[in-house]
């Protein structure tokens, strides 16, 4: 049997194991190990298993994952997410759709601390959904903006999606973090524009709230300065070249811990929960990466990526046409695959194609992360939709899905803008390095 045939059988076995609900990490580990053994022998497979496991476990760049997860958990525990929401609400809550716009701004801000779409959606959902219900916001707009705003945690640094992409493609984590800043602001602006247009066409969706006094506005800003200071310390230090990503993550985790202690919001029980959640998330990511680094050599040995490169580059299409095919495939996969699963499964095959077409790998990383965000909203999986459903159990699932579509199309517009103007993503990394 040829290596390519073994590779095709391996991919088939991978999808069968996934349909049997085996964890994605174990799917990749088992298929990669057995496939490598079938092509190169058992000794080579054992060497890959042991070598890659120890290499990933000792990869210092991945220390940013537990530190940023810890930072996001501590930020929610210390009340900084509430401070950010209160400040945004005091300034724009009196507009039509103002609470929804406040939620998007709050999600964008919290994303700059947590790096997690799920954490952003859960934290801001618990804060924002009761307020929007109190002011008679339509459930479609209320839940849709929380689900969409949560996806910003995948794009605005520190992003776990960028970390995994960097490890799988051997790119700079710092460059990817910085590259996500302007696209993150662009997508946030598009979400705000979506809310303005939607509530302009249907005023009953998001009635205006009471106008806050200027005294209250400045008061909320003074309380939110802690959040701004931590973000400027981590992201500003990274952009200024003062800190490495690991140092920025360590500084952010330390500062949020200090804030939680000073505000007396940290007790033994909730601290234990924060640590356990951080450990679970870190273990999950590391296990997925170990599985990916056993699966990737198997794919390389099978020759499937090189065959795909030859096939796609031989098509009578311009590079833009091939890129559209790749992105459309990702959008389709997002309807039934979770984001990290898509990354680890497809990048070994797709990334060589993208590089052979001459596209910038940092720009492509930003594009892929936005497509992953779209997958977080796309039915029938739509992980963020189910996260919001958990926060708002009284809202029907189909209502939440109806609420995400305007934001989904805003993401599509963001993709188109970045495809036409790639310098939006590349300007800051090129200026920094």
pLDDT band at 381 (very low <50, low <70, confident <90, very high): low
Higher pLDDT, 182 or 322: 182
190-217 average pLDDT score: 86
pLDDT reported for residue 187: 95
Neighbours of 266 (CB within 10 A): 18
pLDDT reported for residue 424: 95
pLDDT band at 249 (very low <50, low <70, confident <90, very high): confident
Neighbours of 384 (CB within 10 A): 30
Longest Cα separation, the chain: 76
359-379 average pLDDT score: 88
Instruction: Please spell the DSSP secondary structure of 188-237, one letter per residue.
Output: HHHHHHHHHHHHHH-GGGS---PPPPHHHHHHHHHHHHHHHHHHIIIIIH
253-260 average pLDDT score: 88
CB 286 within 8 A of CB 313: no
Compute the mean pLDDT over every residue in the chain, rounded to the nearest whole number.
Answer: 84
State yes or no: pLDDT of 127 exceeds 80: no
pLDDT reported for residue 55: 80
11-23 average pLDDT score: 84
The helix or strand, by DSSP H or E, that contains position 16, with its residue range, turns out to be helix 3-19
pLDDT band at 364 (very low <50, low <70, confident <90, very high): very high
State yes or no: pLDDT of 269 exceeds 80: yes
Spell out the long-range contacts of 128-135 with Cβ–Cβ below 8 A and sequence spacing 24 or more. Answer: 128/85, 128/99, 128/102, 128/103, 129/391, 129/392, 131/89, 131/99, 132/99, 132/100, 132/103, 132/206, 135/99, 135/207, 135/209
76-98 average pLDDT score: 78
Here the tokens at position 335 are 């309807």
Here the tokens at position 133 are 């219900």
Range name among 111-120, 286-295, 324-333, 385-394 with the lowest pLDDT average? 111-120
Whole-angstrom distance, CA of residue 268 vs CA of residue 271: 5
State yes or no: pLDDT of 60 exceeds 70: yes
Residues above pLDDT 70, as percent of the chain? 97
Strand, coil or helix: 157: coil
17-21, 36-40, 54-58, 205-209, range with greatest mean pLDDT: 36-40
State yes or no: pLDDT of 433 exceeds 70: no
State yes or no: pLDDT of 150 exceeds 70: yes
pLDDT band at 157 (very low <50, low <70, confident <90, very high): confident
Here the tokens at position 357 are 């077409």
C-alpha angle 228/229/235, rounded to 5°? 85
Whole-angstrom distance, CA of residue 199 vs CA of residue 17: 45
Secondary structure of 330-361 in HEC code, one letter for each residue: HHHHCCCCCHHHHHHHHHHHHHHHHHHCCCCH
pLDDT reported for residue 218: 84
356-369 average pLDDT score: 91
State yes or no: pLDDT of 8 exceeds 80: yes
168-182, 237-251, 375-389, range with greatest mean pLDDT: 168-182
Residues 6+ apart with CB under 8 A from 323: 354, 357, 359, 419
State yes or no: pLDDT of 325 exceeds 80: yes
Quick: pLDDT tens for 221-235.
787 788 778 878 887
The pTM of the full predicted model, rounded to 2 decimals, is 0.81
The sign of the CA dihedral 420, 340, 161, 129 is positive
pLDDT reported for residue 120: 75
CA–CA distances in Å: residue 329 to residues 193, 325, 368, 380: 27, 6, 11, 16
State yes or no: pLDDT of 123 exceeds 80: no
State yes or no: pLDDT of 121 exceeds 90: no
Domain assignments of the chain as residue spans, ordered by start: 48-432
pLDDT band at 392 (very low <50, low <70, confident <90, very high): confident
- The residue among 59, 35, 41 whose CA lies nearest residue 246 is 59
pLDDT reported for residue 366: 94
142-155 average pLDDT score: 88
State yes or no: pLDDT of 368 exceeds 70: yes
pLDDT reported for residue 190: 96
């Amino acid at each position: 049997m040829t290596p390519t045939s073994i590779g095709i059988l391996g991919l088939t076995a991978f999808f069968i194991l996934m349909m049997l609900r085996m964890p994605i990490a174990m799917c990749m580990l088992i298929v990669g190990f057995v496939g490598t053994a079938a092509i190169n022998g058992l000794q080579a497979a054992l060497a890959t298993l042991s070598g890659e496991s120890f290499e990933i476990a000792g990869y210092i760049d991945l220390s940013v994952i537990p530190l940023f997860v810890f930072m996001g958990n501590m930020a929610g525990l210390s009340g900084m997410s509430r401070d950010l929401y209160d400040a945004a609400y005091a300034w724009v809550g009196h507009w039509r759709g103002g609470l929804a716009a406040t939620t998007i701004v709050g999600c964008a801000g919290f994303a700059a601390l947590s790096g997690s779409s799920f954490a952003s959606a859960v934290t801001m959902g618990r804060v924002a959904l009761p307020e929007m219900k109190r002011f008679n916001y339509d459930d479609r707009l209320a839940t849709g903006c929380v689900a969409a705003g949560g996806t910003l945690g995948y794009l605005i640094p520190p992003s776990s999606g960028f970390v995994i992409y960097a490890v799988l493609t051997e790119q700079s984590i710092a460059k990817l973090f910085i590259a996500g800043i302007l696209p993150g602001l662009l997508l946030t602006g598009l979400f705000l524009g979506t809310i303005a247009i939607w509530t302009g066409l249907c005023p009953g969706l998001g009635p205006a709230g009471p106008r806050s006094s200027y005294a209250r506005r400045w008061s909320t800003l003074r309380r939110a300065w802690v959040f701004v200071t931590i973000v400027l310390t981590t992201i500003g230090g990274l952009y200024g070249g003062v800190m490495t990503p690991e140092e920025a993550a360590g500084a952010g985790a330390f500062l949020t811990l200090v804030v939680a202690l000073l505000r007396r919001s940290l007790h033994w029980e909730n601290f234990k929960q924060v640590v356990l959640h951080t450990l679970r998330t870190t273990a999950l990511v590391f296990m997925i990466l170990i599985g990916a680094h056993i699966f990737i050599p198997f794919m390389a040995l099978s020759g499937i990526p090189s065959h795909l490169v030859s096939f796609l580059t031989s098509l009578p299409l311009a590079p833009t046409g091939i890129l559209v095919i790749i992105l459309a495939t990702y959008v389709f996969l997002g309807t039934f695959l979770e984001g990290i699963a898509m990354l680890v499964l497809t990048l070994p095959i797709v990334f060589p194609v993208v590089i052979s077409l001459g596209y910038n790998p940092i720009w492509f990383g930003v594009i892929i992360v936005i497509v992953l965000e779209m997958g977080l909203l796309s039915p029938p999986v739509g992980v963020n939709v189910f996260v919001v459903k958990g926060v708002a159990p009284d809202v029907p699932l189909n209502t939440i899905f109806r609420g995400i579509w305007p934001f989904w199309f805003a993401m599509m517009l963001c993709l188109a803008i970045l495809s036409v103007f790639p310098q939006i993503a590349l300007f800051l990394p090129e200026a920094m390095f």
